[in-house]
């Protein structure tokens, strides 16, 4: 990956639907070069071109970050089980007081409670959870 790849990625982060011709003009190369670079970036799993929904407008009014403490040696297994759940949008194994973090978006606080009780709480290895409900979002994405 080089500087040109980073420029292409930067443009796509601002406008995921930018045509290859527009990207080519912006970075000073041919459209074919952009097409080949983008194809390789996707094939090599460096970028994913996807639609990013506005969760609030789709009816997901409650978002939360959930920190989980797991039993010794259980964090990877717990994270993998949670990663299989549709309600889990982002799952990481981490250092610090929580072994696993889960970001979720649900319809309501009641749905969040149900998710914690019926999906997270029943997983073998989950010892404790702490839920941080989002009050407002100031930034949603980061850039390279």
Domains of the chain: 3-43 (1.10.10.10), 62-133 (3.30.70.920)
Task: Say how far apart CA 68 and CA 73 lie, in whole Å.
Answer: 13
Cα four-point dihedral sign 20, 26, 29, 30: positive
Residues of the chain with pLDDT under 50: none
- The pLDDT assigned to 142 comes to 63
State the pLDDT at residue 144: 65
Q: What is the pLDDT of residue 37?
A: 97
């Amino acid at each position: 990956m080089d500087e040109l790849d980073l420029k292409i990625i930067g443009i796509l982060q601002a406008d995921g639907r930018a045509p290859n011709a527009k990207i080519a003009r912006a970075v000073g190369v041919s459209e074919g070069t952009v097409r080949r670079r983008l194809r390789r970036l996707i094939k090599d799993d460096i970028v994913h071109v996807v639609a990013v929904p506005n969760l609030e407008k789709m009816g997901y009014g409650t978002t939360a970050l959930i920190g989980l403490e797991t039993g010794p040696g259980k964090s990877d297994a717990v994270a993998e089980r949670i990663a299989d759940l549709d309600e889990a949008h982002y799952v990481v194994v981490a250092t610090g007081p929580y072994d696993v973090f889960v970001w979720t978006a649900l319809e309501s606080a009641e749905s969040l409670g149900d998710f914690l009780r019926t999906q997270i709480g029943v997983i073998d290895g989950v010892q404790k959870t702490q839920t941080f409900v989002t009050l407002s979002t100031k930034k949603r994405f980061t850039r390279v």
